[in-house]
């Protein structure tokens, strides 16, 4: 490459046009053109033109990224995506579904409707025959907005959750639904998904299907010993029982961390309603323990 550059420079010198060329390691860079002692700008090649245009397009896309919000729904944290079947534990479990809005959804008495997976239903822990008081809603604002979400009294069915709102939401706002569930039948398939998630605001596209869940079976429990929701310390490691006394002595002998990692099962970083199990919180997710 270097030899070709020198040869090219020598050939063009005879015509009074000198193109200085330098190359090293397989990379060639051409300097400006000199015509009889007068330096002219080096012409831009087609490849460089395409690169420059591509760079400008990239800058434009990055500039738009600040206001583009992708709609979506997920079960969070991922540990809650495994549901114990009847016979594992007492049959009660917990869900935290997060729906991200793409539009500034207008107020409605049915702003958001969620269909639960088959064989999964809301639990009436209060025993009052009502289900709307079992669902807690937390809204994490995107730009200081306060849509004031609430659980509709028209919820009616144990496999349907309907949320209303009194104010306008914002793109990027996140709606957290927290509620107790139980499996009402032994599933025939290992995994199942939430049903449709629909919106009253026509600008917000309905989701034909929500996030997927898997079932935690009795054989899974026998093999693992727990749902693996938390990471326990060595004192509570899996394996044979380490109990040495039946009279309630201290264990372990010296203080140590028993729980190493606890997922955020109850998000509290926004404006929240109350439910039978949970209060409105304080809007600070950093001071919670679970």
* Residue range of the domain that includes 168: 72-222+266-287
146 and 24, same structural domain? no
Q: Is residue 86 part of a domain?
A: yes
Q: Is residue 254 part of a domain?
A: no
Domain boundary among 31, 64, 97: 64
Q: Is the peptide bond before 268 cis (omega within 30 degrees of 0)?
A: no
Considering the domain architecture, whether residues 82 and 186 belong to the same structural domain is answered as yes
**Helix (H) or strand (E) run with residue 10 in it:** helix 2-13
Instruction: Give the pLDDT score at 92.
Output: 83
Question: Is residue 60 assigned to a domain?
Answer: yes
| Domain finish residue from 64, 80, 102 | 64
How confident is the model over 125-163, as pLDDT tens digits? 999 988 999 999 999 999 999 999 999 876 557 889 999
Domain end position, chosen among 17, 33, 64: 64
Residue 106 domain-assigned?
A: yes
> Are 114 and 178 members of one domain?
yes
Please, are residues 119 and 191 in contact by the beta-carbon 8 Å criterion?
A: no
* CATH for 176: 2.60.40
Which of 263, 210, 254 lies closest to 71, judged by CA? 210
Q: Kindly state whether residues 125 and 194 are assigned to the same domain.
A: yes
- Residue 161: strand pairing partners: 114
The rounded Cα 136 to chain-centroid distance in angstroms is 19
Highest-pLDDT range among 196-200, 211-215, 236-240, 265-269: 196-200
pLDDT tens string 202-249: 999 999 999 999 888 878 877 776 777 777 777 766 666 555 556 666
Provide the pLDDT for residue 239.
Answer: 61
Q: Is residue 253 part of a domain?
A: no
Q: How many CB atoms lie within 10 A of CB 272?
A: 23
**Which residue from 205, 121, 111 is spatially nearest to 163, judged by alpha carbons?**
111
pLDDT (mean) for 77-92: 83
By three-state DSSP, how is residue 81 classified? helix
* Other Cβ atoms within 10 Å of 231 Cβ, number: 11
Q: Within a domain: residue 191?
A: yes
Q: Is the Cβ–Cβ distance between 32 and 18 less than 8 Å?
A: no
Which residues on adjacent β-strands are paired with residue 138?
176, 272
**143: CB partners within 8 A, 6+ apart:** 170, 172
In total, how many domains does the chain have?
2
Per-residue H/E/C for 201-263 = CCCCCCECCCCEEEEECHHHHHHHCCCCCCEECHHHCCCCCCCCCCCCCCCCCCCCCCEEECC
């Amino acid at each position: 490459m270097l030899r070709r550059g020198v040869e090219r420079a020598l050939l063009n010198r005879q015509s009074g046009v000198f193109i200085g060329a330098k190359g090293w390691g397989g990379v060639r860079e051409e300097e400006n053109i000199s015509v009889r002692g007068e330096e002219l700008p080096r012409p831009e090649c087609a490849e460089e033109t395409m690169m420059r245009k591509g760079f400008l397009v990239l800058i434009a896309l990055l500039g738009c990224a600040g206001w583009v919000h992708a709609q979506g729904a997920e079960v969070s944290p991922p540990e809650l995506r495994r549901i114990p079947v009847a016979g594992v534990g007492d049959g009660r479990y917990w869900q935290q579904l997060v729906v991200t809005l793409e539009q500034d959804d207008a107020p409605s008495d049915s702003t958001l409707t969620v269909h639960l997976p088959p064989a999964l239903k809301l639990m009436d822990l209060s025993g009052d025959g009502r289900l709307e008081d079992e669902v807690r809603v937390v809204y994490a604002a995107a730009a200081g907005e306060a849509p004031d979400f609430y659980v509709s009294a028209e919820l009616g069915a144990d496999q349907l959750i309907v949320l209303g709102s009194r104010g306008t939401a914002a793109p990027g706002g996140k709606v957290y639904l927290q509620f107790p569930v139980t499996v009402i039948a032994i599933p025939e398939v290992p995994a199942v998904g939430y049903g449709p998630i629909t919106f009253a605001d026509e600008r917000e596209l309905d989701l034909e299907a929500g996030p997927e869940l898997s079932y935690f079976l009795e054989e899974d429990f026998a093999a693992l010993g727990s749902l693996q929701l938390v990471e326990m310390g060595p004192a509570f490691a899996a394996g044979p029982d380490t109990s040495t006394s039946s009279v309630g002595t201290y264990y372990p002998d010296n203080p140590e961390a028993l729980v190493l990692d606890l997922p955020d099962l109850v998000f509290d970083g926004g404006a929240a309603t109350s439910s039978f199990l949970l209060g409105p919180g304080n809007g600070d997710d950093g001071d919670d323990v679970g």
